[in-house]
Amino acid sequence: NAGVMQNPRHLVRRRGQEARLRCSPMKGHSHVYWYRQLPEEGLKFMVYLQKENIIDESGMPKERFSAEFPKEGPSILRIQQVVRGDSAAYFCASSPKGNEQYFGPGTRLTVT
């Protein structure tokens, strides 16, 4: 059973461009969580999704950020019009029942 997959692993974008981060959960997991980690800090929750539904987006910035988890395919975290402050590591986690979460390797976004 492959672990949580995230791609790309590294992403460089210029200010104003769009960033799309993908997450494929572990097989059989229908719960997906996105977290952001700034340098020297712990992870901060962004959004929690189940298939086709956003369950909790209380940690998501109100503008420029969106997330989806379609019936088919990976979960996508989309950041529009990126700014330097969006530079961070973005981690996805999946869970079978909403308890123990298994993390992917992360996508490191650098905004130049």
Partner 1 sequence: SQQGEEDPQALSIQEGENATMNCSYKTSINNLQWYRQNSGRGLVHLILIRSNEREKHSGRLRVTLDTSKKSSSLLITASRAADTASYFCATSIAGTALIFGKGTTLSVSS
Binding site for partner 1 (CB under 8 A): 33, 35, 40-45, 48, 55-56, 58-59, 91, 93, 97-106, 108
Q: How far is the CB of 16 from partner 1 (least distance, A)?
A: 27
CB 4 within 8 A of CB 95: no
Q: How far is the CB of 27 from partner 1 (least distance, A)?
A: 17
Take residue 54 and report the two structure tokens written for it.
Answer: 């956003």
Classify the phi-psi angles of 8: left when phi > 0, otherwise alpha if psi is within -120 to 50, otherwise beta.
beta
Cβ-based nearer residue to partner 1, 60 or 82: 60
Q: How far is the CB of 58 from partner 1 (least distance, A)?
A: 8
CB 81 within 8 A of CB 64: yes
Cβ-based nearer residue to partner 1, 17 or 59: 59
Cβ-based nearer residue to partner 1, 20 or 44: 44
Closest CA to 76 of 92, 57, 95: 92
